[in-house]
Amino acid sequence: MDLAALPRVDALVRAAPLLVARHGQGPATEALRRAIAAARAQLLDGAAAAGTVTAGAEAPGAGPASLVDHLVAIAAEDLAARRPGPPRAVLNASGIVVHTNLGRAPLSAAARAALADAAGYCDLEYDLTTGGRGARDDRLEPLLTEVTGAEAGITVNNAAAALVLALAALAGGREVVVSRGELVEIGGAFRLPEIMAAAGVRLVEVGTTNRTRAGDYAAAVARPDADVALLLVVHPSNYRITGFTETPALPDLAEIARVACVPLVHDTGSGLLQPHAAAWLAGEPSVAGSLRAGADLVLCSGDKLLGGPQAGLLVGRADLVARCRRWPLARALRLDKLRIAALAATLEAHLRGAAEEVPVWAMLGADPEALALRVAWLAAAVGGDVTQGTTLVGGGSAPGAGVASPVVRLAVPRPDETARRLRAGDPPIVVRVEGGVVVADLRTVPAEADELLAQRLTAAG
């Protein structure tokens, strides 16, 4: 093929009506122009472009039909890479409930409905009774205080934002005492010492990686040159240290903080609101439990075990919350109307004692017999085996914790290729590849999607 075979841009645009309809005249034209330019560059460089396309019937004024199709396909790939579009719905058969890469907690029906209601005009900061301005905080604070027992509470963009706000508002320019075993790194390579530096506080490390005692905190506060503004306890949500370890009890730290006249701030991480009896949650701190143990301010995530949208909850003493609310950074970190709506609906479910309406808790508490029947049906439908597995909580919640679940193991010639085909379908399906086989965990799959999953597993295998 020579340069003369390359089609004109206008002719190529006319030959790609679907591309134009999907992306618009201007972007589609530019993408097709880039595709022609790339093909021209290959020819001028002596590349054998004919090795990727073959001559065929002529399209009027456009060149060989197969070449036109090839260039349109290149342009479509170009636009897809430049315009990834909004997040797509995914069927999660991975067995990770709070899957960070899949958007963490799926929202409840009530939360989705509240989000849709708030998507248009809404009374976010408007008092319908007086016709005057309202306050967006008034929608969530009563729910936060009732569900946790705190005096006051505010919400921000995420738990990291809540921590930054608390540090900046309560300890800017001063010292914050933290155990060396709690200097964590969260997702995206954000490290606690760096977060503290960005908040303008000075880190004082106490104890060792595996053993920190209450006396270490007391000694740090009692230093002759100490300028301690608060004690910070951080739950290591993404890992566990086992073996020769020691961690001071929260009431002991609360007493040290009280004597030193500084607040005790506890980052509980997961968003567990109240202590829970489930064995897999053993040792997982709750917001209400930490407040009762003496923490002055507690923060957590809204999109983990709480089961709501991405948010950071900051609750505790009214005077400390008020200082955080007044801090200039608070406005930059505040929630928008959509997340306020979804979070309010999620908190209402917890207050009604209807946590089973929240998908995270519905999955973790799924009926074992019903789950076993579904798994047995799927295994028979796809020719797989049923084995015992573990559904992980995930998302930095309850590190290493999980719930025993029967899973389907499907032996296929190329498991990684099968998993890729499942991800490439509509909707994308995410499974695990483990021990050379494909593993599907139905605890994270809606029951109404079982037949679709069976069809797709059969086709992809």
Cα four-point dihedral sign 255, 256, 262, 265: negative
Beta bridge partners of 430: 92
Which residues fall within 8 angstroms of residue 459, CB to CB, at 6 or more apart? 421
CB 233 within 8 A of CB 264: yes
SS3 176: strand
One DSSP character per residue, 253-279 reads HHHHHHHHT--EEEEEES---S----G
Chosen CATH of 91-99+362-460 out of 3.20.10.10, 3.30.70.980, 3.30.70.120, 3.90.1150.180: 3.90.1150.180
108-355 has the same fold as 91-99+362-460: no
Per-residue pLDDT reduced to its tens digit, 26-64: 999 999 999 999 988 888 887 544 444 443 334 444 556
CB 288 within 8 A of CB 274: yes
Give the H/E segment covering residue 229.
strand 228-234
- Beta strand 312-316 with 152-156 is antiparallel
Retrieve residue 309's tokens.
């949208």
Quick one: average pLDDT of 271-299? 91
* Matching residue, tokens 């969260």: 186
Confidence bin at 115 (pLDDT 50/70/90): very high
Quick one: average pLDDT of 323-343? 96
Per-residue pLDDT reduced to its tens digit, 350-408: 999 999 999 999 999 999 999 999 999 999 999 999 999 999 988 766 666 789 999 99
Domain spans in the chain, listed from the N-terminal domain onward: 3-82, 91-99+362-460, 108-355
Residue 150 has pLDDT above 90, yes or no: yes
* Matching residue, tokens 């995410």: 430
Angstrom distance (rounded) from CA 14 to CA 10: 6
Beta bridge partners of 266: 233, 298
- CATH code for the domain defined by 108-355: 3.40.640.10
Angstrom distance (rounded) from CA 230 to CA 95: 39
Q: Which is higher by pLDDT, 236 or 230? A: 230
Rg value, the chain, Cα: 28
Angstrom distance (rounded) from CA 102 to CA 359: 14
pLDDT in the model for residue 146: 97
